[in-house]
């Protein structure tokens, strides 16, 4: 019995050493998710006008967002309507319910383009 305990105790450090060496050799690293707006290979595909111009609907539900904003507090049933779109910009509205009443905010967006800076 005593010999089995000693053998088990000497086995644990060997297993831990093996795991550490295996992890070091595999060069384990965490990678961030691929973002289309950050990747050089997708620059040609980042065109808001092309994305919206041929769609049959001018009504788009906002599925969700991942940031805090005073502009979205207490709002529900948020959707967007596109009033007009051209290669130069887009006129659209944000529609919503807030405290049981309908609301709407009109926006005019001008499309701008900058040179993509490849950092890596």
- 22 falls within a domain: no
Q: Provide the number of structural domains found in the chain.
A: 1
CB 103 within 8 A of CB 85: no
Residue 31's pLDDT band (boundaries 50, 70, 90)? low
pLDDT digits (tens, 9 = 90+) for 46-73: 788 888 888 777 777 776 666 677 877 8
Residue 81: strand pairing partners: 59, 93
pTM value?
A: 0.54
- 47 falls within a domain: yes
Residue-number span of the structural domain to which 68 is assigned: 34-110
- 23 falls within a domain: no
- 8 falls within a domain: no
Q: Is the predicted pLDDT of residue 88 greater than 90, yes or no?
A: yes
pLDDT at position 120 is 60
- 78 falls within a domain: yes
- 28 falls within a domain: no
Q: Mean pLDDT lowest for which of 23-32, 43-52, 67-76, 109-118?
A: 23-32
CB 75 within 8 A of CB 96: yes
- 4 falls within a domain: no
């Amino acid at each position: 019995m005593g010999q089995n305990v000693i053998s088990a105790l000497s086995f644990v450090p060997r297993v831990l050493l093996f795991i550490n060496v295996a992890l070091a050799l595999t060069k384990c690293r965490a990678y961030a998710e691929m973002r289309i707006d950050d990747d050089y290979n997708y620059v040609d595909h980042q065109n808001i006008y092309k994305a919206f111009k041929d769609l049959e609907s001018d009504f788009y539900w906002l599925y969700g967002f991942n940031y805090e904003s005073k502009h979205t507090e207490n709002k529900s049933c948020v959707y967007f309507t596109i009033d007009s779109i051209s290669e130069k910009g887009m006129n659209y509205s944000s529609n919503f319910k807030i405290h049981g009443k309908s609301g709407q905010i009109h926006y005019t967006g001008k499309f701008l383009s900058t040179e993509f800076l490849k950092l890596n």
